[in-house]
Amino acid sequence: MQTDTKILAHEFEYLTPNTLNEALDMLDRYQDKNAKILAGGTDLLVKMKTINLKPDYIINIKNIQEINFITYNDDGLKIGAVTSLSQVEKSKEVKAKYSALYEAIKSMAAIAVRNMGTIAGNLCNASPAADTAPPLIAYGAEVKLANKRGERAVPVEEFLTGPGKTVISSNELLTQLNIPVLDENTGSSFLKIGRVKADIAKINIAVYLERKNNVCKSCKIVFGSVAKTPIRVKGAEDILRGQQLTSDVLTKVAEKASEEIKPITDIRSTAEYRHEIAKVMVEKAVNLAWERAGD
Amino acid sequence: MENKQFIAISKRFDIKNVGKVTGKEIYASDVNIPGMMHAVVLRSPYPHAEIKSIDLTEAEKTGAICISRDDVPDLIYNERIVSIPDKTYKDRTVLPKDKVRHTGEAVAAVAADTEETAFKALEKIKVEYKKLPAVFDIDEAMKPDTSQLYSYVYLGDKKIDIENNIACVRNISVSDIDKGFEEADVIVEETFNVQRIYHMQLETKSTVCVPEADGGITIWTTTQGIHNVRILLGEIFNIPLHKINVKRITLGGSFGSSIQMNSITPICVALALKAKSPVKLVMPREDDIYDHASYPLRTKIKIGAKKDGTLTAGHCKVWVEIGAHNIQAYPYLGCIAGWFASLYKWINIKYEGKAVYTNKTPTCARRGYGSPQINFPVENAMDILAEKLGMDPIELRLKNYVGKGDEFWGQGPTIKSIIRSCGVEEMLVEGSKLIGWDKRIPPSEKTGDIRRGIGVARGFHTSGTGGPNPGEVIDYSGATVKINEDGSVDVVTALMDHGGGTWDVAAKVAAEVLKVPFDKVGIYNGVDTRTTVFDVNTHATRGVYCGCGAVKLAAEKVKKILLNYAATLFKDLPENLELVCNEELGQAVVYPKGLPEKYKTVGEIAKTAQIKSWGTIAYTSSLRQKNCPPCFITYFTEVEVNTKTGQIKIPRVIMMGDSGTIMNPELWKGQIIGAFSQGIGLGYIEEIPYDTNTGKLKCNGFITDFKVLTTTEMPKIDDIKVLPAHTYEPTGPFGAKGIGEAALSAVASSFGNAVYNAVGIRFYDLPITPEKMLKALKEKEEKKDKKE
């Protein structure tokens, strides 16, 4: 493998649609022609430089204003595909209501990268360690996928199918994220352990739970970087659901969660460490979400 | 201690290198020459392979200029020529002639109009390899039936056989080691490993070469020494030195990785000579990571002491896994012996060192030249010994440290001098008060998930490699100092500034001698090997002590010339004149002693000298320092171990440094704080592991997966204290010694000792990652459970 990360020696056709329709037309036209979508470029350009990804067409969707927004109303939180991570991070609603998402974005890379990168890109890149995926799965978020002929909604949980793999078709564009309004008495949290502050996660976790009469009414616990995709530990969720948050329950939740994950040893950490640390993180993240849920 | 009023020294000034903070500074990679071509390098995908054939035809068809083994000279050389020729091992050519010995070794290179077109041409080069078995492990490498990297190399001009991949050996003995251990009541014997890491200097290695009309070349390159680059290029390409000009240009960081001429420099020259056109070659980060790493070290250490803590013996067996080329592991082994011998009074010493080739990236010096690597075993062993003796670790150190009046090995066994300034005691005593050493409790008394611990470690580095007697290392510097026609001063030197402010010090020294205000002294780039006299290299923490020593010598001679001219003007004798700084005038002035009102400014004197055609007031010096005084450092590091996650934080640190007179107080602190960050990185997370199946780095050369610590992982600024010892080095310029490399020597050691104090676990292999910590904690728990 020969690389030169200072340059992009590979030649490609660079397309810059200004409207969504234009973009979908292009995707339709080039769907079989090795085209890649560029939103923030923080993953795409890196891959072109480091693993010799050689697209023939690059469709830069950054100029499409229709998909550059972040809104919040009774319908929930809606985020356009080219809205930068920094824009989401700065949203008052996100900070106030969607703690896990806010914390996930805060934990990502450095400011310069967050200014360029997008949540949509983070999802489409489909890294098992993607930081925004666990909170989005925990919240039950959906992505909107559009092509020339129409659109469909897919839960984030089903969107990601493996490392670098999603259900998106080559003529489809992820245009928007929908995150439901959160119920009363709910709380969420996100935790991440990396080698250093600005890093890809060794392991990350998001918890979203509903607390009523001091009992956990419902919950979702989602880990990243411990399996081929971000995963829910449903057995651990079952243990927590309907229970008061005692240290005994928490220990059982932690043990179960650690059993359910399937981490590997890679350059960032070991499977053994991930199993161990998963327990600590579940306890801490559940506690945090529990406190935030109030009562 | 000399008590002196300085005009520039020890004061805070705006730095001379203003371009660095405004973004205007020009580095080698910024140099653009009209008609310049851009080069890229083809590198081996295999760790060990015979080169069967290289076909450049298709690449050349694109119009690119290509070189491979047939286009470079046959000369076998060593890129580092700081040691004397007789002690220099040589094993490489500009491009490998027969086989590649590590993944990422340069095989061919291409120059074209743009880097992109060069890269495309590069992809058309066809190399046929025959893969050979590769070896990555030091023990494996030394087995007789293991694949050999070399059958022979050269030591000076002598051909020597290489057996069992052993590149060189160094054994040293002082007194009687067996007797020493017989006298010991307590013995500590352990094995430690300090890992190889990447230097992670900001600037990747870069070179621009212009072939001149007369057959000569002009070079801008990342280097710590322009003269050695010139000498070596002269030898390799057989060009007389007066036709080679290496320009001094600001260094974007090095940490020792550019003591040697960089591997790409002669490649760039070969391309430029073939192309008959200027060529620029700037390494991408991944090439840089595959180009050099720091020397690792495995140490089997055995030390002995009497019941009262008096040391009786020290025995070290060290192995260094050097990778695919020997970039002077021989002096490295010597220096490690020296650092070991100079830490404590072992009385009886035995040292056995071995350097071993493997099919990994070649290793070279990194900040400390082995000092952090040997300091870790020694300072850990001292703590283990203190515990065995039931003695306070500080007391044990105070009892045995090598200090004032003792002999210091500044550069292995051949460069030694007597220590004349030493702040060790002050630093240990004052530092312990500041950290609250008396409140430190043993790990057994600590409970809870979060455990804090305090560790101490001390170290040093030499200031230069001079000494009363010549040794294996070449060491002298030179400078030209010149008073301009308006009284301002030019300092011209080949000395490099690594970012620690060495050029500022050079300006301060000239200002101090000539009593000229600091802002009237200039030290600029634009000088080169033609306009400067020889300076061996800015390495070995020698910038201030040696390099600026030469500036001081030149300035003193200039002062004499100045006073002679002034004497003519005053119709008096030079010894009857006074030279002082007049701050109101912003000038140095001369007056007859006792008659300050009769002054003439230096500007007036210089102008008169010009008008009357007396000549320039200038002098060029060449100086070898006769000593190599150690600059000492002591760290009191507090750690906070999260026993649930294995993560370690640094809540607090006291850093004590002994540099004699401190020339640039703020930059001095900066050097120490920076070294602390680097040292914790070494202790906590940095490593560059290999995939031994493919022979590639697991990080693939990308810093995405080679992590270093940043400010985020440092203690808060209020929790970092940096304090100087109050010393004066009588042999240094205005009492100064160095700091740069000393600052790193003891950081990881203090970290390791602090970790032990926090959780009661001694770690013998660096780095102490959260993964290792958690595993060790678990094992400790299991052991405890079994006992119960």
Find out whether B165 and B322 touch, Cβ atoms under 8 Å: no
Chain A residue closest in CA terms to B697: A267
**Direct distance between the N- and C-terminal alpha carbons of chain A, in angstroms, rounded to an integer:** 57
Q: Does A196 sit within 8 Å of B709, measured CB to CB?
A: yes
Nearest of A181, A214, A198, A194 to residue A273 by alpha carbon: A194
**Residues of B numbered 615-654 whose beta carbons fall under 8 angstroms of chain A's beta carbons: which are they?**
644-647
Examine the pLDDT at A90 and tell me if it is beyond 60.
yes
Find out whether B337 and B412 touch, Cβ atoms under 8 Å: yes
Which amino acid, one-letter code, is at B336? Answer: I
Chain B residues in contact with A46 by the CB 8 A cut-off are 704
How much is the pLDDT for A48?
95
Chain A residues in contact with B646 by the CB 8 A cut-off are 273, 277
A69 min Cα distance to partner chain B (Å) = 30
Q: Does A5 sit within 8 Å of B40, measured CB to CB?
A: no
pLDDT digits (tens, 9 = 90+) for B99-117: 999 999 999 999 999 999 9
Instruction: Note whether B207 and B99 are same-domain residues.
Output: yes
Number of Cβ within 10 Å of residue B406's Cβ equals 13
Instruction: Note whether B542 and B593 are same-domain residues.
Output: yes
Q: For residue A1, name the pLDDT band (cuts at 50, 70, 90).
A: low
> CA separation (Å) from A205 to A107, B42, B529?
12, 42, 58
> CA separation (Å) from B720 to B638, B674, B739, B753?
11, 12, 18, 18
Instruction: Note whether B55 and B105 are same-domain residues.
Output: yes
Number of domains in chain B: 3
Examine the pLDDT at B1 and tell me if it is beyond 90.
no
Q: For residue B17, name the pLDDT band (cuts at 50, 70, 90).
A: confident
Q: Residue B70 is encoded by which pair of tokens?
A: 């047939």
Instruction: Note whether B480 and B595 are same-domain residues.
Output: yes
Instruction: Note whether B664 and B769 are same-domain residues.
Output: yes
How much is the pLDDT for A295?
63
What mean pLDDT do residues A180-204 have?
A: 96
pLDDT digits (tens, 9 = 90+) for B355-398: 999 999 999 999 999 999 999 999 999 999 999 999 999 999 99
Which amino acid, one-letter code, is at B607? Answer: K
Q: Residue B700 is encoded by which pair of tokens?
A: 């693939």
Residues 6+ apart with CB under 8 A from B653: B635, B636, B637, B638, B676, B715, B719, B720, B721
- Separation of alpha carbons B716 and B718, rounded Å: 5
Q: Residue B750 is encoded by which pair of tokens?
A: 């203090």
Q: Is residue B601 part of a domain?
A: yes
Last residue of a domain, one of B289, B308, B323: B289
Phi, psi (rounded to 5 degrees) for A273: -65, -40
Chain A residues in contact with B45 by the CB 8 A cut-off are 1-2
DSSP per residue, B20-72: HHHT---BGGG---TT-EEEEEEE-SSSSEEEEEEE-HHHHHTT-EEE-GGGS
Q: Residue B148 is encoded by which pair of tokens?
A: 């050999």
Find out whether A236 and A282 touch, Cβ atoms under 8 Å: yes
- Separation of alpha carbons B343 and B380, rounded Å: 13
- Separation of alpha carbons B504 and B276, rounded Å: 39
**Residues of B numbered 684-723 whose beta carbons fall under 8 angstroms of chain A's beta carbons: which are they?**
685, 689, 698-702, 704-705, 707-710, 712-713
Which amino acid, one-letter code, is at B72? Answer: V
Q: Residue A90 is encoded by which pair of tokens?
A: 């700065």
DSSP B456: E
Q: Is residue B4 part of a domain?
A: no
Chain A interface test: which of B286, B697, B700, B781 (most A C-beta within 10 Å): B286
pLDDT digits (tens, 9 = 90+) for B166-182: 999 999 999 999 999 99
What value, to the nearest 5°, has the Cα angle with vertex B728 and ends B725 and B733?
125
Residues 6+ apart with CB under 8 A from B498: B224, B251, B253, B254, B255, B538, B543, B740
pLDDT digits (tens, 9 = 90+) for B281-332: 999 999 999 999 999 999 999 999 999 999 999 999 999 999 999 999 999 9
Burial tier of B594 (Cβ tally within 10 Å: 0-12, 13-18, 19+): exposed
Examine the pLDDT at A150 and tell me if it is beyond 50.
yes
- Separation of alpha carbons B299 and B312, rounded Å: 19
- Separation of alpha carbons B298 and B68, rounded Å: 37
- Separation of alpha carbons B583 and B601, rounded Å: 12
Residue A247 contacts B, CB cutoff 8 Å:
no
Residues 6+ apart with CB under 8 A from B121: B59, B60, B62, B63, B64, B66, B110, B112
Q: Does B702 sit within 8 Å of A5, measured CB to CB?
A: yes
Ordered alpha helix ranges (H), B460-519: 502-514
Instruction: Note whether B114 and B255 are same-domain residues.
Output: yes
Find out whether B378 and B190 touch, Cβ atoms under 8 Å: no
- Separation of alpha carbons B693 and B85, rounded Å: 38
Q: Residue B705 is encoded by which pair of tokens?
A: 């997966």
The pTM for the full model equals 0.97
Q: Is residue B679 part of a domain?
A: yes
Round the average pLDDT of chain B to a whole number and report it.
97
Helix (H, G, I), strand (E, B) or coil at B489: strand
Instruction: Note whether B641 and B580 are same-domain residues.
Output: no
What mean pLDDT do residues B553-565 have?
A: 98
Instruction: Note whether B517 and B604 are same-domain residues.
Output: yes
Phi, psi (rounded to 5 degrees) for B74: -85, -10
User: ω before B767 within 30° of 0 (cis)?
Assistant: yes
What mean pLDDT do residues B669-691 have?
A: 97
Q: Is residue B768 part of a domain?
A: yes
What mean pLDDT do residues A183-206 have?
A: 96
Helix (H, G, I), strand (E, B) or coil at A29: helix
Last residue of a domain, one of B289, B314, B332: B289
pLDDT digits (tens, 9 = 90+) for B477-487: 999 999 999 99
Kind and range of the H or E run holding B349: strand B348-357
Q: For residue B734, name the pLDDT band (cuts at 50, 70, 90).
A: very high
Q: Which of B644, B710, B774 sits opposite A197 (nearest CB)?
A: B710
Q: For residue B4, name the pLDDT band (cuts at 50, 70, 90).
A: low
pLDDT digits (tens, 9 = 90+) for A22-53: 999 999 999 999 999 999 999 999 999 999 89
Q: Is residue B16 part of a domain?
A: no
How much is the pLDDT for A52?
85
How much is the pLDDT for B786?
85
Residue A193 contacts B, CB cutoff 8 Å:
yes
pLDDT digits (tens, 9 = 90+) for B310-321: 999 999 999 999
Range list of β-strands (E), B594-629: 600-601, 617-623
- Relative to beta strand B311-323, strand B297-305 is antiparallel
Instruction: Note whether B443 and B491 are same-domain residues.
Output: no
DSSP B401: B
Q: Residue B424 is encoded by which pair of tokens?
A: 């060790």
Phi, psi (rounded to 5 degrees) for B504: -60, -40
pLDDT digits (tens, 9 = 90+) for B710-727: 999 999 999 999 999 999
Helix (H, G, I), strand (E, B) or coil at B675: helix
How much is the pLDDT for B3?
47
DSSP per residue, B277-303: S-EEEE--HHHHHTT-EE--EEEEEEE
Chain A residues in contact with B782 by the CB 8 A cut-off are none
DSSP per residue, B537-575: -S-TT-IIIIIHHHHHHHHHHHHHHHHHHHHHHHTS-GG
Range of the domain at B451: 401-466+627-788
Residue B285 contacts A, CB cutoff 8 Å:
yes
Chain A residues in contact with B685 by the CB 8 A cut-off are 195-196
Q: What is the 3-state secondary structure (H, E, C) of B683-749?
A: HHCCCCCEECCCCEECCCCCHHHCCCCCHHHCCCHHHEEEEECCCCCCCCHHHECCCCCHHHHCHHH
Instruction: Note whether B678 and B576 are same-domain residues.
Output: no
> CA separation (Å) from B157 to A45, B99, B151, B229, B340?
50, 22, 16, 20, 31
Which amino acid, one-letter code, is at B313? Answer: A
Residue A110 contacts B, CB cutoff 8 Å:
no
pLDDT digits (tens, 9 = 90+) for B44-91: 999 999 999 999 999 999 999 999 999 999 999 999 999 999 999 999
Last residue of a domain, one of B623, B653, B675: B623
Q: Which of B115, B122, B710 sits opposite A2 (nearest CB)?
A: B122
Nearest of B682, B788, B777, B782 to residue B443 by alpha carbon: B777
| Cβ pairs A/B, distance under 8 A | 74
- Relative to beta strand B489-492, strand B521-522 is parallel
- Separation of alpha carbons B466 and B24, rounded Å: 36
pLDDT digits (tens, 9 = 90+) for B394-453: 999 999 999 999 999 999 999 999 999 999 999 999 999 999 999 999 999 999 999 999
Chain B residue closest in CA terms to A199: B704
Instruction: Note whether B605 and B656 are same-domain residues.
Output: no
Q: How many residues does this entry show for chain B? A: 788
* ipTM above threshold 0.85: yes
Q: Is residue B253 part of a domain?
A: yes
* CATH number of the domain where residue B234 is located: 3.90.1170.50
Q: For residue B15, name the pLDDT band (cuts at 50, 70, 90).
A: confident
Burial tier of B760 (Cβ tally within 10 Å: 0-12, 13-18, 19+): middle
Q: For residue B239, name the pLDDT band (cuts at 50, 70, 90).
A: very high
* CATH number of the domain where residue B519 is located: 3.30.365.10
DSSP per residue, A184-196: TTEEEEEEEE-SS
**Residues of B numbered 566-585 whose beta carbons fall under 8 angstroms of chain A's beta carbons: which are they?**
none
DSSP per residue, B403-439: -TTSEEEEEEETSEEE-----HHHHHHHHHHHHTGGG
Q: For residue B13, name the pLDDT band (cuts at 50, 70, 90).
A: confident
Instruction: Note whether B538 and B636 are same-domain residues.
Output: no
Domains in chain A and their CATH numbers?
13-60 (3.30.43.10), 65-179 (3.30.465.10), 186-293 (3.30.390.50)
- Separation of alpha carbons B409 and B340, rounded Å: 9
What mean pLDDT do residues B663-682 have?
A: 96
Q: Is residue B100 part of a domain?
A: yes
Q: Does B707 sit within 8 Å of A4, measured CB to CB?
A: no
Q: Does A270 sit within 8 Å of B115, measured CB to CB?
A: no
